[in-house]
Structure 1
Amino acid sequence: MVGLKTLYIAAAMASVLPSAAMAADTFAVDPAHTQTVFTINHLGYSMITGSFHDLKGTLSLDQKKPAQSSVDVTIGTTSIDTGFASRDDVLRSKAFFDAADFPTMEFKSTRVVLTGKETADVRGGLTLLGVTKPVVLKVKFNRLAPDQMRNNAVVVGFTGTTTIKRSDFGMKAYLPYIGDDVKITVNFEGIQQ
């Protein structure tokens, strides 16, 4: 009877502990808790920030072999938001994101290189304006655990940063007055499927 009770407790704990997630679990982007924030120099006076609200994608997370994990995220360019509507309209125009012809941009990982116990370089291709260029996201693992606010769904969180040159993708409007380097921070939460 003691053995059966021990098995029951172990099974119950496995159902709520992060280690319960098996190899190559799939996590869907939680758009309510995922942010893609960019920062760019404005005429040397200030750093302007903005974000995108239309985010979709999945993370395939292999906890036993993290280097075999992968991510694929699509971002709607029409959802750009810098907090100033007329500037957002300009950013959606052909001069910048050309949202009418290129309504999405996409990041697809090609390789994960572990750099520490909770850090990794996630290498992949960023497609923007129909141009794909290699990008390296410096990623920090934040947490993997059931979330009581989401009916104990297992949630994973990461923060990633990178810097790209917008001109590499053909976005050259107002260079050099508006910066070429764009710093990107991704605050990612995914819900296990």
Structure 2
Amino acid sequence: MTYSTVRPHARRVLWLTAGAAALALAACSPPADKKADAPAPSASSPAAAPAATADKFVMPKVPAGDYKLDPAHASLEFKVNHLGFSHYTARFSDFDAKLKFDPANPSASSVEATIDPKSLTLPNPPAGFKDELTGKAWFDTAQYPTITFRSTKVEVTGANTAKVTGDFTLHGVTKPVVLDATFNGGYAGHPMDPHARIGFSAKGTFNRSEFGMGFGVPAPGTTMGVGDAVEVTIEAEFSGPPLADAKAPAAAPAQ
């Protein structure tokens, strides 16, 4: 394949994937500056308290139950390598996700996500570019109108992180994909927002050629084309059970 035959198409390949459930939060405290003539803090002083670390993450008191995606606070982006010169970035604007969340047993949680591939959103696309990508040669949205992700396993990997394995269906092909998820936090409800709310970040990578979309993949040992690996980045907030549904301590019996 020559440069002249690859170049027009190499700029016309992109894409993405799915899926939904997942998680991010880690913090570290920078050491405070210490003057040479300052007295050392006593063991009982606040300065002597150990700094917070990522492994001290405390799960907020949010209720278990069904959560739905808040589309106003969610994004689904992807990147593919272009000619070895840059990482082309685009997104889908129409997607949804349903989450069953159990803060006491995160491994029992599950997520399902759907994406409308026609909602592909491109940065400054040339005329006809989106039509080409959603057409028969690529996503073929007329025949495959939905991309889906359904989790099959949640493996806790840290205080607020997990690997979410799921069945990912794209272009009529279903294969397992793993998302590295981070739980960012949440609350059981607020006077201005009476439903529980939780937030996640997630990342994953898959090879598009494994889903029947291998056109333009560079020949071995070259970068002349569009990379096979697709990197997905997800940010999502979910709204859950009403505050009144959160379990409260039992009332003391009347005397």
Q: What is the aligned residue count?
A: 175
**Residues 179, 203 of structure 2: 8 Å contact kept:** yes
Rounded to whole Å, the distance in 2 between the matches of 1:120 and 1:91 is: 33
Q: Which residue does 1:141 correspond to in 2? A: 183
Report % sequence identity. Answer: 39
Name the structure where helix makes up a greater proportion of residues. 1
The match for 2:231 among 168, 183, 188 is: 183
| Unpaired runs of at least 5, structure 1 | 1-16
Unaligned 5+ residue runs, structure 2? 1-58, 219-224, 242-255
Q: Within the alignment, does 1:61 sit opposite 2:101 as a pair?
A: yes
Deviation at 1:161, TM superposition (A): 0.5
Which structure is higher in strand share? 1
Tell me the residue number matched to 2:122: 82
Contact 2:74-2:234 at 8 Å conserved across structures: yes
Counterpart contact for 1:29–1:55, Cα < 8 Å: no
* Structure 1 residue 178: Cα displacement: 0.9
**Runs (4+) of structure 1 moved beyond 6 Å?**
none
Change (3 A) 1:147 1:84: farther
Which one-letter code corresponds to 1:180 in the other structure?
D
SS in 1 for 2:196: strand
Q: 2:71 aligns with which of 31, 38, 41?
A: 31
Deviations 1:45-84 (A, max 9, x none): 2111011111112010011111000000001000011223
Q: Greater relative contact order (Cα 8 A, min sep 6): structure 1 or 2?
A: 2
SS in 1 for 2:210: helix
- Name the aligned partner's letter for residue 181 of structure 2: V
Of residues 41, 44, 49, the one that matches 2:84 is: 44
Distance 2:147 2:192 in 1: 29
Pick closer, same or farther for the CA change 1:102–1:146 going to 2, 3 Å: same
After superposition, the Cα gap between the structure-2 partners of 1:68 and 1:76, relative to the gap in structure 1 and judged at 3 Å, is: same
Structure 1 or 2, whichever has the larger Rg, is 2
- The answer to whether the 8 Å contact 2:180/2:202 transfers is yes
Structure 1 counterpart SS, 2:215: coil
Give the AA of the match of 1:38.
Answer: F
- Cα pair distance change 1:20/1:136, threshold 3 Å: closer
Residue pair 2:184, 2:200 contacting (<8 A) in 1 also: yes
- Give, in whole Å, the separation in 1 of the partners of 2:92 and 2:70: 13
Alpha-carbon RMSD? 1.8
* Equivalent-residue separation in structure 1 for 2:134 and 2:237 (angstroms): 26
Cα distance change of structure 1 residues 149 and 37 upon mapping to structure 2, 3 Å threshold: farther
For residues 205 and 76 of structure 2, the distance between their equivalents in structure 1, rounded to whole angstroms, comes to 13
> Aligned in 2, Cα 1:41/1:111: closer, same or farther, shift over 3 Å?
same
